[in-house]
């Protein structure tokens, strides 16, 4: 094999040792080891070589080399002394003026590319002379390309024994077999060293390691702690899996035994190892009567000695118990938070519900006294609004906590926002006899692109708190100002809400933006609240890319500052939405698809107040049938509940859209499913708008106006633009 892959050595030449004249008077031990012994010293170069080449000893020894050169180091001239036919096939000159130059020039083309750089760096005149002076010879091993196959060769330069010390001999021999076996040896040795190091390192982690022949089951224990040895498992034997399975009854914790036996068979482990290379299983081992968590890791290794399974057992008891403790604490904390939340909610929902139920009873028993009925209805109304805002807050906080809160972005008139805030909070302040002031003289750009409702929510939350936590007779104020514009081209606004109220303690201040937290004194003072408002406010401000800060002193008051950067709207005028009045809608026919009797009745009464003729369907399928049977133009609009029996609102809307009479029929979702995802699902199903229950009759009128009367160009926040 080597012959076909490597250089063909100059064997087969005359190898008789007879007839050679001893060329040298002195022979050093070192020189005797190399090809220099072929040459005679102190001769005129060509004649000498010719003379020496006659000698059979030289021929015999030359047989080990497929090429020998003779070089005169004083002038670098060289001549080829002998070469094999295969070497001659390279077509190299057999003599010349500069041996180093010749070698570098031709060997560069013949040397295996990976070795060229090293060859050129090493095979220099200086290196050779330095080595000869130091050791009497120079050697190097590299690969020559013989027949396209890289073949290891050994080049040796030896000084001849002669007085002038002018001549050297260069011999090149084939050492391919030698090198390959050496490489294989080094590799195997290296692998052995590596494996044993790995095993030693692993042994530190594993209290026992077995080496198993996966085919026969024969095994040996590589290392084991004393504690493991006490379990009394054999150290070596013929059937590892049989042994372990047989010991399972005695050693594996009862609760884990079935699973362990199901997994730990030779076939199962081997198939897992062949698929993944390694495999781990956890179970409890009985140590001195106590179950201890262990992890068993099996690895398949394939080396020159064949396949081996390395199986290590690791004590992970402390780690598992720490994890279990952590999980238990987390579960306790979750339960405590849930209980806290439910207790808070229960209290916060019961309070307004108590008012609603109580005043409903009072109104019922005073039907003949309009003043009492009116007063009761007003209180029922305000408690209902509180309940609704609580539900909206819970919805918002759950959106925030699940990362689902999204802001919408559209034209926004800050002057309008501030006016609405004024309308709402002035009434609140008035009812508490507070002095309230609003200042926004410093704003010159009111038109921006933003989520108008969320800006309003932020400012109303802070201002309502200021009113809530400021005792009667004191003052509250809102200052809105525009700051110098940023290089980004965005407008900057600052909103400051100041009150002279009860103030916030230093202890509580760092927690003020956390959900469900309230300061003790505000709870004790029985001021209504959930501790959600500021958490939502801070998150909305953050989503807008703004900042919120608070300063406060107990007994003196608080100051909340919100800063926002908003995109200017440009020159285009804001679309104007014409207000819809009840009279405008009169005479239109509406299909109300609603399964719940009370909801249907409320909607019907409100729609009838607007002069609409109401037809009702009790589920989605009935609604679709009614649209199909009545044909185009019969209904002006459909109000669609979502969760209904037989067919839900989403499917019904899709079905209506596929009917001739339903393609352009406005459909408004009227649903208690009020998450952003629910709104998107409705619009995706082909509906035109979404109103959350309980809805404000004015909002319904506005949507109906836009869709039925097709007046105005603006779309509401939950409508298709």
In the complex, the residues that contact ligand ADP under the rule CB under 6 A are 465-466, 469, 499, 501-504, 512, 518-519, 522, 529-535, 558
**3-state SS of 520-577?**
HHHHHCCCCCCCCHHHHHHHHHHHCCCEEEEEEECCCEEEEEEEEEEEECCCCCCCCC
**Pairing of the two strands 167-174 and 689-692:** unpaired
Q: Which value, to the nearest 10 degrees, does the dihedral of the CA atoms of residues 31, 37, 40, 44 take?
A: -80
Angle 254-263/240-251 helices, nearest 10 degrees? 160
Query: Which residues lie below 8 Å from residue 19, measured CB to CB, with a gap of 6+?
Result: 54, 55, 56
Nearest to 66 by CA among 84, 40, 90: 84
Smallest gap from Cβ 535 to ligand ADP, in A, equals 6
Reported residue count of the chain is 721
Min. distance of Cβ 696 from ligand ADP in angstroms?
22
Q: Which is nearer to ligand ADP, 256 or 499 (CB)?
A: 499
To which residue do tokens 């959600």 refer? Answer: 532
Residue 209 neighbours by CB distance under 10 Å: 21
Least Å distance, CB 521 to ligand ADP, is: 7
Least distance CB 503 / ligand ADP (angstroms): 6
For ligand ADP, the closer of residues 530 and 580 by Cβ is 530
Q: Which candidate, 104, 112, 161, 89, places its Cα nearest to that of 132?
A: 161
Least distance from C-beta 379 to ligand ADP, angstroms? 20
Torsion on CA atoms 415, 416, 421, 426, rounded to nearest 10: 80
Smaller CB distance to ligand ADP: residue 150 or 531? Answer: 531
CA distance 126 to 228: 64
- How big is the chain by its Cα radius of gyration, in Å? 48
Between 74 and 517, CB nearer to ligand ADP: 517
Supply the minimum distance, in Å, between the C-beta of residue 530 and ligand ADP: 5
CB of 426 to ligand ADP, least distance (A): 17
HEC profile of 77-94: CEEEEEECHHHHCCCCCC
Smallest separation, CB 504 to ligand ADP (Å): 5
Residue with smallest beta-carbon separation from ligand ADP: 529
Q: How far is the CB of 278 from ligand ADP (least distance, A)?
A: 52
Q: Smaller CB distance to ligand ADP: residue 501 or 705?
A: 501
Tell me whether residue 73 or residue 548 sits nearer to ligand ADP (CB atom): 548
What is the token pair recorded at 487?
Answer: 């290089």
Nearer to ligand ADP, 155 or 512 (CB): 512
Cβ proximity to ligand ADP: between 428 and 596 the closer is: 428
> Which CB atom, from 533 or from 623, has the smaller least distance to ligand ADP?
533
Give Cβ neighbours of residue 325 (< 8 Å, ≥ 6 apart). Answer: none
Which residue, 508 or 675, has its beta carbon nearer to ligand ADP?
A: 508
- Find the shortest distance in angstroms from Cβ 498 to ligand ADP: 9
Closer residue to ligand ADP, CB minimum distance, 162 or 499: 499
CA–CA distances in Å: residue 373 to residues 316, 354, 366, 379, 682: 71, 17, 6, 10, 39
Whether the Cβ atoms of residue 475 and residue 513 lie closer than 8 Å to each other: no
Distance in angstroms (rounded) separating the CA atoms of residues 229 and 651: 69
> Three-state DSSP class for 22?
coil
Rounded to the nearest whole angstrom, what is the least distance from the CB of residue 390 to ligand ADP in the complex? Answer: 9
């Amino acid at each position: 094999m080597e012959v076909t892959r490597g250089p063909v050595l100059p064997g087969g030449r005359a190898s008789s040792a007879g007839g050679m004249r001893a060329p040298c008077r002195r022979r050093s031990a070192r020189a005797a080891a190399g090809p220099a012994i072929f040459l005679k010293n102190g001769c005129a170069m060509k004649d000498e070589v010719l003379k020496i080449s006659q000698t059979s000893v030289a021929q015999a020894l030359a047989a080990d080399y497929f090429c020998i050169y003779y070089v005169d180091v004083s002038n670098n001239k060289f001549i080829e002394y002998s070469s094999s036919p295969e070497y001659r096939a390279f077509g190299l000159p057999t003599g010349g003026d500069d041996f180093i130059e010749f070698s570098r020039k031709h060997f560069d083309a013949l040397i295996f590319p990976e070795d060229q750089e090293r060859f050129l760096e090493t095979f220099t005149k200086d290196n050779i002379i330095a080595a000869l002076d130091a050791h009497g010879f120079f050697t190097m091993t590299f690969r020559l390309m013989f027949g396209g196959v890289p073949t290891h060769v050994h080049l040796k330069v030896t000084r001849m024994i002669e007085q002038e010390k002018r001549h050297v001999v260069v011999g090149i021999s084939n050492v391919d077999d030698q090198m390959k076996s050496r490489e294989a040896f080094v590799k195997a040795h290296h692998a052995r060293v590596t494996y044993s190091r790995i095993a030693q390192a692993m042994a530190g982690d594993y209290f026992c390691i077995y080496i198993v022949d996966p085919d026969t089951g024969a095994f040996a224990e590589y290392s084991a702690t004393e504690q493991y040895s006490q379990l009394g498992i054999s150290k070596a034997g013929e059937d590892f899996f049989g042994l372990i399975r047989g010991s399972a009854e005695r050693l594996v914790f009862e609760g884990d035994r079935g699973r362990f036996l199901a997994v730990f068979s030779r076939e199962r482990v081997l198939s897992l190892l062949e698929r993944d290379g390694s495999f781990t299983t956890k179970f409890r081992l009985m140590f001195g009567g106590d179950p201890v968590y262990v992890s068993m890791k099996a690895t398949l290794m394939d080396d020159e000695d064949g396949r081996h399974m390395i199986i290590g057992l690791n004590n992970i008891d402390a780690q598992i118990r720490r994890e279990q403790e952590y999980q238990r604490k987390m579960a306790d904390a979750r339960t405590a938070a849930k209980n806290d939340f439910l207790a808070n909610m229960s209290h916060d929902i019961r309070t307004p519900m108590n008012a609603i139920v109580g005043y409903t009873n009072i109104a019922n028993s005073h039907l003949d006294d309009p003043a009492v009925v009116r007063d009761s209805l007003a209180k029922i109304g305000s408690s209902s609004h509180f309940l609704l805002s609580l539900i909206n807050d819970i919805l918002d906080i759950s959106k925030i906590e699940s990362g689902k809160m999204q802001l919408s972005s559209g034209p926004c008139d800050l002057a309008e926002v501030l006016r609405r805030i004024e309308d709402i909070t002035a009434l609140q302040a008035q009812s508490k006899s507070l002095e309230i002031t609003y200042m926004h003289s410093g704003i010159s750009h009111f038109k921006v692109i933003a989520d108008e409702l969320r800006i309003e929510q932020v400012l109303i939350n802070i201002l309502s708190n200021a009113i809530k936590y400021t005792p009667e007779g004191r003052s509250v104020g809102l200052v809105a100002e525009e700051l110098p514009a940023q290089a980004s081209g965005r407008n900057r606004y600052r909103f400051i809400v100041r009150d002279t109220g009860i103030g916030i303690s230093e202890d509580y201040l760092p927690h003020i933006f956390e959900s469900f937290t309230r300061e003790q004194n505000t709870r004790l003072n029985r001021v209504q609240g959930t501790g959600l408002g500021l958490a939502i406010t801070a998150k909305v401000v953050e989503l807008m890319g703004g900042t919120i800060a608070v300063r406060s002193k107990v007994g003196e008051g608080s100051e909340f500052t919100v800063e926002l950067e908003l995109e200017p709207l440009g020159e285009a005028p804001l679309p104007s939405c014409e207000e819809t009045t009840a009279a405008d809608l009169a005479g239109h026919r509406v299909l109300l698809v609603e399964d719940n009797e009370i909801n249907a009745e409320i909607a019907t009464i409100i729609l009838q107040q607007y002069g609409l003729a109401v037809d009702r369907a009790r589920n989605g399928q009935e609604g679709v049938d009614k649209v199909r049977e009545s044909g185009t133009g019969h209904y002006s609009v459909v109000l669609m509940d979502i969760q209904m029996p037989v067919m839900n609102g989403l499917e019904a809307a899709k079905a209506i859209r596929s009917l001739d009479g339903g393609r352009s029929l406005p459909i408004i979702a009227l649903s208690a499913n009020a998450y952003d995802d629910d709104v998107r699902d409705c619009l995706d199903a082909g509906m035109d708008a979404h109103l959350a229950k309980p809805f404000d009759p004015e909002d319904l009128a506005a949507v109906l106006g836009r869709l039925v009367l097709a007046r105005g160009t603006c779309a509401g926040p939950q409508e298709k633009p």
